[in-house]
Amino acid sequence: MTVRIGVIGAGWIGQDHIRRLTHVITGAEVTAVTDLDAAHAAEVATGVGARALPTGQDVIAAPDVDAVLVTSWGPTHAEYVLATIAAGKPVFCEKPLATSAEDCLRIVEAETAYGRRLVQVGFMRRYDAGYRAMKQVIDAGEIGVPLMVHCAHRNPTVPASYTSAMAAQDTAVHEIDVLRWLLDDEIVSVQVVTPRRTSKRLEHLQDPQIMLFETANGVRIDLEVFVNCQYGYDIQCETVGESGLVRLPDPASPSVRSAGRADTAVVQDWRERFPAAFDAEFQEWTASVAAATAPTGPSAWDGYAAIGDATVQALESGRIVGVAMKDRPAFYAGGTAGGTAR
């Protein structure tokens, strides 16, 4: 069966996923596209032989759409995910699942009431070979019990619409998700320390931020979020255990010696850093939709667990903030290939 997919939001990642679904993975076909910019939606849709539809609701309701991909702006995600659940169709939502814990919980409740898992969240790092290798090392006990994790999430630059809260809501969600999965642990408190601001960009923005998380098992995590670092898209992660450490490998790129220098290129964005992870994520998701089985990747519960309300409060108050999570419903119990629900 070819899964017919409708896409809401044809921006950077929407177009990249449309290319992936059309030309890279098997078993999927994009049949409908919408965007706030109708002319742009028409152009993107035409490029892959799909229809452009006026709104996200039209995409969700379309009879030739078996499953929905939400790649619009974060604050619009909850509305479309909830509508897709109401229509009884599977939905892949790019991160974040929603921009508040309250909205994430509404999605969790709607999906639980529906009675079958329909939602997968785009935390693709769980599919990355480097993170998977790290997890194997940790799970095999090779570094002993994990004690500390040092992380950095650096982007060259962000648009003017990026706010200080988005460092938690839009950026650190990736680390929170992948660290919950890597450590099999939950974050219980967070503090945000604010270094001197970079002069390179955006008056309104607190950038960088250092987020300090504590887990239920007492692991301490420091995460530098620096979204105007200028030099590249740089994701670092090092887990220190009782008897060793494991470090995320940098993406393979050749070392060039020329003009008296030895250089290795730094990738510039997420498309270059995680292409294989995105491909694997979509291949697996498409297969689950085709087989009408539960998605194997990060769940709506994982989307809720990663959302940064406490981190935003910690930034705004300057205090250590406890993370108050609801109890996980039994509906989300059990491990999966994407390493999901816990």
Ligand X SMILES: NC(=O)c1ccc[n+]([C@@H]2O[C@H](COP(=O)([O-])OP(=O)(O)OC[C@H]3O[C@@H](n4cnc5c(N)ncnc54)[C@H](O)[C@@H]3O)[C@@H](O)[C@H]2O)c1
Say whether residue 208 binds ligand X (CB under 6 A).
no
Say whether residue 338 binds ligand X (CB under 6 A).
no
Binding mask 60-99 for ligand X (x = CB under 6 A): -----------xxxx-x-----------------xx----
Nearest-angstrom CA–CA distance, 148 and 145? 10
Return the residues of window 157-186 that contact ligand X according to CB under 6 A: 170
Say whether residue 36 binds ligand X (CB under 6 A).
yes
Least distance (Å) from ligand X to the CB of residue 5? 15
Number of residues forming the site for ligand X (CB under 6 A): 23
Least distance (Å) from ligand X to the CB of residue 207? 17
Least distance (Å) from ligand X to the CB of residue 95? 5
Residue 137's closest CA among 245, 298, 250?
245
Return the residues of window 45-64 that contact ligand X according to CB under 6 A: 56
If the CB atoms of residues 170 and 185 are measured against ligand X, the closer one turns out to be 170
Judged by CB under 6 A, the residue of 13, 110, 118, 315 near ligand X is: 13
If the CB atoms of residues 5 and 124 are measured against ligand X, the closer one turns out to be 124
Say whether residue 308 binds ligand X (CB under 6 A).
no
Say whether residue 37 binds ligand X (CB under 6 A).
yes
Nearest residue to ligand X, by Cβ distance, number only: 11
Segment contacting ligand X (CB under 6 A): 7-15, 243-251, 256-264, 326-334?
A: 7-15
Which chain residues interact with ligand X by CB under 6 A?
8-14, 34-37, 56, 71-74, 76, 94-95, 122, 124, 170, 270
